[in-house]
Amino acid sequence: MPTASPATGRPAAVALLIDVACVVVFCTVGRRSHAEGITLGGVAETAWPFLTGTAVGWLATRAWRRPTALTPTGLGVWICTVVVGMLLRKLTSQGTALSFVVVASVVTAILLLGWRGVAAVRTRR
């Protein structure tokens, strides 16, 4: 699996952008499915807790070292995205109904772990 060296952070930067895109897609689709409207401000309001969790996951796992690794990177980023995201939503009264926690956990797992799984398969070929 590609790793980012100090000389070139390109694989890490691309992986971080993919993670951010996954979270933004999750939030955008969620807003659309609840007829909340898709505006830049609305998506940002929904996404910031989860993006903060993604950043915590990147720092906690030092994801730049093995950005495409399913474990520990992908698993750590996913768990932090959900846990920190939900804690921040709770603290800001944005709602953390059990059904939302379950859906958010499943969808973000598919997105954040799924692209890494595809990358692992492609790397092995």
pLDDT tens for each residue of 42-90: 899 999 999 999 999 999 999 999 999 999 999 999 999 999 999 999 9
Q: Could you tell me the pTM of the whole model?
A: 0.88
**Tokens for 85?**
């995201």
**Tokens for 95?**
């709602």
> How many alpha carbons fall within 13 Å on the CB side of residue 57?
31
H-run or E-run covering 3 = none
Residue 8 — very low, low, confident or very high, per pLDDT cuts 50/70/90? low
* Predicted pLDDT of residue 37: 74
* Predicted pLDDT of residue 90: 96
What interhelical angle do 98-124 and 40-61 show, nearest 10?
A: 60
Residue 125 — very low, low, confident or very high, per pLDDT cuts 50/70/90? confident
Partners of residue 1 on adjacent β-strands: none
Residue 125 DSSP label? -
* Residue 43: partners with Cβ closer than 8 Å, 6 or more residues away: 24, 27, 28, 31
